[in-house]
Amino acid sequence: MLGFMLGEAVRDLRRAGRVAVSAVVLIGFSLVALGGFWVLSTNLGHAVARWRDRVRIIVYLKREPAAADVPALLARVQALGDVVSAVYVGKGEALDSLRRVLGKDAAVLDHLPSNPLPASIEITLAQAAATPDGTRALISRLAMLPEADEVAGGMEWVERLAHWQRLLSMIGLGVGSLLAVAAILTVTTATTLVLYARRHETEIMRLVGAAEMVVRLPLLLQGMLQGLIGGLLALIALGVAHRVTAPHLDPVLNVTIGLPGLEFLSPLNLVFLVAAGTLLGAFGGWLARGPGR
């Protein structure tokens, strides 16, 4: 029975002709928009998570403490709360670090009369405190330490990135939803046309006592087929777009937000997109109303 109804759905789809093609294309567009913004949002999300993990607060000390005093100082820092780790960096260590960064130009440091770099403590925040407010609160607590000369670090730019990510998600959802509504209406139109074209079949079906489900299911299946084809076309379009743009975008992303490359949607995301297309089509088919009961 299902095979027969699927056959009827395919026959109906052919009958709908260009309107069905428009519906497929519109579903494809809406899913490409949704998928495209999803790719951007996912990648920004990864960048935000990555940078949240890397956020450090550095307390520059007025003078280098004696080695014996360091553990007590670190313990006091830990006791301030919201601190996952506190690492002491002595003046010598800081200079070595700078030397490594300067590479072949490091010789310039040999001409300095003394080591100008201060000793410092590098602090990693607890996950719960990795917000602008949490960071500000910890910075002000750290500034109260008598040994602290200056406290540096913050979350503002990471939050700005997160803000862009949320904005992109919302724009994607908005554009995708608008196109989805248009797609549903087009599927409904295509199905309504089919209903008119097949009114004799419907009349005969009702006359001979076909169950209402048998009358309606081919229409639903026809909508689902349009959605499925639209979804698969969207996947192909997204895949091709990713393949073409990723090589150009990867170096830019690496330099600007530190991502190794533009990540594509996961298989689960792709399944979701195709399923969303199929559901859109089914909804359009379900909404259609034709002549008769």
Partner 1 sequence: MIQFHRVSKIYAVGLVKIPALSDISFTVDKGEFVVLAGPSGAGKTTMLRLLYRDEVPTEGEVEVLGRSVPGLRGPQIAELRRSIGVVFQDAKLLPGRTVFENIAFVLRVTGTPRRDVTARVFDALRAVGLSARAQSYPAQLSQGEAQRAALARAIVRKPAVLIADEPTGNVDEAMAAEVIDVVKDVWRRGTTVVLATHQARLAVSLKQRMLVLEHGRLEKDG
Residues that bind partner 1 (CB under 8 A): 1, 3-4, 200-201, 203-212, 214-215
167 or 204: CB nearest partner 1: 204
**Please, is 191 exposed, middle or buried when counting C-beta atoms within 10 Å of its C-beta (0-12, 13-18, 19+)?**
buried
Smallest gap from Cβ 202 to partner 1, in A, equals: 10
Rounded Cα distance, 136 and 41, in Å = 27
215 or 228: CB nearest partner 1: 215
Smallest gap from Cβ 226 to partner 1, in A, equals: 21
Smallest gap from Cβ 227 to partner 1, in A, equals: 24
209 or 267: CB nearest partner 1: 209
Rounded Cα distance, 120 and 150, in Å = 10
For residue 76, give the 3-state DSSP assignment: helix
- According to DSSP, residue 147 is labeled T
Closest CA to 241 of 32, 96, 80: 32
Q: E strand or H helix at 287, and its extent?
A: helix 267-287
Smallest gap from Cβ 5 to partner 1, in A, equals: 9
Rounded Cα distance, 222 and 179, in Å = 20
Distances (CA, A) of 255 to 157, 171, 230: 15, 25, 36
69 or 203: CB nearest partner 1: 203
Smallest gap from Cβ 285 to partner 1, in A, equals: 18
Smallest gap from Cβ 208 to partner 1, in A, equals: 5
101 or 207: CB nearest partner 1: 207
Q: How many CB atoms lie within 10 A of CB 289?
A: 12
Written as six digits, the tokens of 244 are 């073409």
152 or 210: CB nearest partner 1: 210
